[in-house]
Chain A
Amino acid sequence: MVNEANLMEISAYSPFWLIVVFYLLSGIWEVGRLLRPEGFSKQWADRLPFMAFALHSLFLLYLASRVENIPVTNLFESVVFLTWCVVAVFNGVEYLYGVPSLGAFLFPLVTVLGFWVLSLGDNLLGTPSNLSKFWLIAHTIPLFMGYAALTLTFVLSLMYLTQQRQLKHKFFGPLLLGLPSLESLDRLMWKTLSFGFPLLTLGLVFGIFWVKYSNILGPQWYMDPKVVMGTVTWLVYAALLHLRIGVTMHGSRVAMLNIAGFTLVLFTFLGTFFLGAQHGYKKVSKEDTMIIKGIKE
């Protein structure tokens, strides 16, 4: 039996359309500012992301109040929550370090994620209703924040490789002048990674405790694709950190490894849904829908 709240009416999605459109506009504006600074005012470059994030936060609160839990009870909610975490970490990084043009790379990514989950329509995946609230919070919040930080690492790596390309090919233009220096990108990659990795670890550790404690994934829990992929992701980032600390590796290789790590994150988070993985979610069948509708009637 799936959580009744998972069966959201399509109308519950519609506010998110507006939010994603705001992120799209933010992305367009930021990219415009990067490529043609005189054509796009700073005022709107500040306003659009602010409005998008404010609406996003309100929508998240609404979703949370609806399920009376953290809003990760279905794939749609999870993506809304994850993108919110990403933009929140982005805001933190902007506030602390003021990275030029970061938004130009980040907002398009958020937009794509948003449109993707909206395009799934009512192809719903839901969590069982009997999950422990405590473990759900302990497991998902660190993981989501960790994913968000690693998303930032990924975006910074893309910026690093872009800037490196400009420098290697001697393209002296607005892109070269608009992007931060390689050194500062390298430092920030390191900072977001060392923020994200402990959170990732914490989330995984809580996950292990949870699965041991409540047996929700069955006795063969370690064979669950999401558990396997999560572990692989964790190992990749652990190796990366080791290389960065121990061997002190800088530059383009770190950037490329970050990108590889992030594709694993994406796969762990989203890809495993399509492997028919049960982890936390299950596909909502027509029967379930009928039952719930029957109850309602």
Chain B
Amino acid sequence: MNILVVGLNHKSASVEIREQLAFSPSRVTEALDRFCRCFPSSEVVILSTCNRVELYACSPKTSSEFTEEAIFDFLAGFHGIEKARFRENMYVYQDLEAVNHLFFVASSLDSMVLGESQIVGQVKEAYATACSQGATGKVFHQLFQQALNAAKEVHTHSKIAQGKVSISSVAVEFAERIFQDFSDKTVFIIGAGEMAELVLKSLVEQGVRAVMVSNRSYDRAVALANECGGKAVRFDSLEEELAKADIVISSTAAPHYVLHPEHIKGAMQRRKGTPMFLIDIAVPRDINPEVGKIENVYLYNIDDLQGVVSQNVEERTREVEKCRAMVEEEVEEFMAWMEEMKIVPAIARLRHHFHHVGKEELERLRPKLGNLSEEYWQEVVYTMERTLNKLLHRPLEVGKEEAKNGGGYRYVETIKKLFGIGHHQDSSP
């Protein structure tokens, strides 16, 4: 069998090219169908995420039309773009390398964010879609199940997925060390921005219910408040409302500080020492750093959060070697299975050969025995079969062992020579 992966990812191609080759969920099924029609007797899985587009295929060794060029042509044809546009961004891996690649991808060792957990789900999904389209066979069932297994091993037995590696999750991590229960907490958002929204989203996931939004433009504040189910606050009344806020996320585009120590001191007096958590995501900063010195106030700016992210990323990177070793073990297990699969047809033929000879001999024997009762005759047949199976037992065991150690091919050739079981056109499953 020939396993082939053709694809591109965030490292090899820009987003402009990735988006042209990406498959939307509905088009994946169509592509799988078309691929199976182009290359009958092949197995295929298409993995399309925002960071990668990869086509995994496998076909009998002998099918000569099954080459990387053919797959490039298929992709170009399907997406209606010229091959030359994406060719140099593509990587192609075969057999062991292809298996290695899939296992790395599934274990998130090839991801933009090391150890992220989404990719496992995406690989699972891609495999399930291919299964439901009947595009997978024995090899890919084994391959993908083993890849998902490897991913699970890596995630549970290493620290690759530990430590938060996004600004918003680190912000929540800090918030969790200040507050115990988020359901009675109020989040105050000043300004707007993607990062602020991400942090807010993570906080809402933690149970925050009350949200207040303030913006220079009141209309924009109202619009934002409506989006996140919060309350809009006029910029002028910011100071009065501040005392109600347990968590403040600031990300205005103002060129100067928006919140000063006197604002927060006033608010803290009214809060009677209940801690306040301020996150300043803006650059240039919105909150005067002096604010951080006020008692029971915890101020973090984008660099503080980014610093923790980098620290955690570094820790994950340190785990890569360990994960690589774990993945390689799984890869070896799969390759051993593949080797075993190689000898399966030879063994089937050997068994068939033995039983065929036995049957011939029995047929020759039957007339010589005259009117032997059916009962006795069955005894004879049974004895013959038992003898043959006993004789076959050892070659079979040895074959599996040889295959595991990579001697499958030599074994098959030896069997063929020894028993003269002929050269069939295909020796693979």
Contact = CB atoms under 8 A, between A and B. Distances in A.
Interface string B157-199: 0000000000000100110111111000000000000000000
Contact of B298 (A168, A183, A184): A168
B275 interface: yes
A182 interface: yes
A247 interface: yes
Interface string A183-198: 1100100000000000
B272 to A, nearest CB: 5
B272 A249 contact: yes
B401 interface: no
Interface string A154-197: 00000000010011101010001101111110010000000000
B272 A183 contact: no
A254 B296 CA distance: 11
B274 interface: yes
A248 interface: yes
B174 A167 contact: yes
Given A167-B174, A168-B298, A248 B272 contact: yes
Interface string A235-259: 0000000000001111111100000
B295 A252 contact: yes
B76 to A, nearest CB: 48
A166 B173 CA distance: 13
B254 to A, nearest CB: 24
A93 B311 CA distance: 35
A116 B154 CA distance: 49
Nearest to A184: B180
Contact of B179 (A163, A183, A250, A251): A183
A233 to B, nearest CB: 23
Given A167-B174, A181-B178, A182-B178, A251 B300 contact: no
Given A172-B311, A250-B296, A181 B273 contact: no
A250 B273 contact: yes
B273 A253 contact: yes
A97 to B, nearest CB: 11
B304 interface: yes
Contacts of A247: 272
Contacts of B228: none
Interface string B43-71: 00000000000000000000000000000
Contacts of A172: 170, 173-174, 307-308, 311
Nearest to A173: B311
A242 B308 CA distance: 40
Contacts of B178: 167, 181-183
B274 A176 contact: no
Nearest to B179: A183
A98 to B, nearest CB: 12
B177 A251 contact: no
A74 to B, nearest CB: 43
The A contact surface, by secondary structure, is helix
A179 B181 CA distance: 15
A254 B295 CA distance: 12
Contacts of B272: 247-250
A168 to B, nearest CB: 7
Interface string B268-280: 0000111100000
B298 A167 contact: yes
Contact of B274 (A177, A181, A251): A251
A176 B300 CA distance: 15
Contact of A181 (B180, B292, B308): B180
Interface in A119-174: 163, 166-168, 170, 172
Given A181-B177, A182-B275, A252 B298 contact: no
A176 B273 contact: no
A163 to B, nearest CB: 6
Interface in B123-180: 170, 173-174, 176-180
Query: Considering residues A176, A183, A184, A252, which has the most beta carbons from chain B within 10 angstroms of its beta carbon?
Result: A183
Contacts of A250: 272-275, 296
B296 A183 contact: no
Nearest to B159: A38
Query: Considering residues B176, B296, B307, which has the most beta carbons from chain A within 10 angstroms of its beta carbon?
Result: B296
Contacts of B311: 172
Given A172-B311, A183-B275, A252 B180 contact: no
Given A170-B304, A249-B272, A163 B298 contact: no
B174 A183 contact: no
Contacts of A248: 272-273
Contacts of A254: 273
A183 B181 contact: yes
B310 to A, nearest CB: 11
18 contacts: A167-B298, A172-B170, A172-B307, A172-B311, A179-B177, A180-B180, A181-B179, A183-B181, A183-B275, A248-B272, A250-B274, A250-B275, A250-B296, A251-B274, A251-B296, A252-B273, A252-B295, A253-B295
